[in-house]
Amino acid sequence: MRIDVLTLFPEMFGVPLEISLLGKAIEQGRLTVEVTDIRDFANDRHRTADDAPFGGGPGMVMKCEPLFAAVDSLKDRNSLARVILLSPRGRTLTQAVVRELAEQPDLVLICGRYEGVDERVSHTLCTDEISVGDYVLSGGELPALTLIEAVSRMLPGVIGDWESVTTDSFYDGILGPPQYTRPPVFRDMAVPAVLLGGNHAAIRRWRRKEALRITKERRPDLLGACGDADRALLQEIEQEEAGPEREVES
């Protein structure tokens, strides 16, 4: 997969693209990320990429000419089928969106800055706008890195143990289960016995049930698409939670 990033601050991508699994994916050729400085396509000697907004108002707006020229420069090496503006106005980056994007052969990510980009960029040049959440950052560089990191985990061979991906939060719509490692007892806190017993079917059931319990507590909005097996586990959870109250009442 190829991802082209257009930014006013290319230096922000140096270290993150060199380390951990993302760096290995790039080193192994499973992912190519090229970062382009938008100012290289400005048409004046000051490399101006922003200007005051028409109609007045605070801040500056990223100019359309350098952005259109930067995208045009990618035509020989990127299909330009998915040109994405990182913007708080975009649709939220969910795991479903990540899986959708991971199926593409290439992407272009435009990192907005200042008060935003000229609307002609969003309306004509971009095929999509994506937000990482309902808050505002100084620019789209960190959201772009978030998107790249999330998409890279979906690419074949990037994660050696694919099961570790399928148990991630949101992979199949709910939050992930609790995880434990050695020692089995720490400061009188013991690892659940089921995880130590070697019964893999029981472990899978326990993990799914606890993942549903956590999702019910923290993100009940994610439970709408649960199947029959999950609904049965949720009913068990509700009965367990209601049990002590009935005992007190009696």
In a domain, 52, yes or no: yes
Evaluate the omega torsion of the peptide bond into residue 244 and state whether it is cis, within 30 degrees of 0.
Answer: no
Q: How do residues 126-166 score in pLDDT, each as one tens digit?
A: 999 999 999 999 999 999 999 999 999 999 989 865 555 65
Residues 148 and 217 in one domain: no
Please say which residue of 108, 128, 152 terminates a domain: 152
In Å, how far are 18, 86, 196 from 185, measured between CA atoms?
37, 45, 12
Reported as a single tens digit per residue, the pLDDT across 17-47 is 999 999 999 999 999 999 999 999 999 999 9
pLDDT at 167: 53
Inside any domain, residue 227: yes
Residue 250: pLDDT above 50? Answer: no
Domain around 229: 185-249
pTM: 0.86
* Structure-block tokens of residue 161: 């143990």
- 6 shares its domain with 87: yes
Same domain for 34 and 97, yes or no, is: yes
Please report whether residue 62 resides in a domain. yes
Is residue 104 included in any domain, yes or no? yes
Q: Which residue has the tokens 């999702």?
A: 215
The CATH number linked to 189 is 1.10.1270.20
Domain boundary among 136, 152, 168: 152
Answer yes or no: do 31 and 96 share one domain.
yes
Residue 73's CATH number: 3.40.1280.10
Continuous H helices in 153-199: 162-166
When pLDDT is averaged across residues 235-250 and rounded to a whole number, the result is: 75
Within-domain flag for 157: no
Does residue 120 share a domain with residue 192?
A: no
- In the chain, what is the straight-line distance between the N-terminal and C-terminal CA atoms, in Å? 62
Average confidence (pLDDT) over 192-219: 96
Task: Look at strands 61-62 and 83-92 and give their pairing.
Answer: unpaired
User: Does 148 lie in the same domain as 39?
Assistant: yes
CA distance 143 to 97: 14
Rg (CA), the chain: 23
State how many domains the chain has: 2
Residues 195 and 134 in one domain: no
Are both 109 and 230 inside the same structural domain? no
Percent of the chain topping pLDDT 70: 92
Same domain, 147 and 239: no
Mean pLDDT of 203-225: 94
126 within 8 A of 110, measured Cβ to Cβ: yes
Cite the active site residues: 88, 115, 153, 168
Kindly state whether residues 114 and 205 are assigned to the same domain. no
Q: Are residues 23 and 111 in the same domain?
A: yes
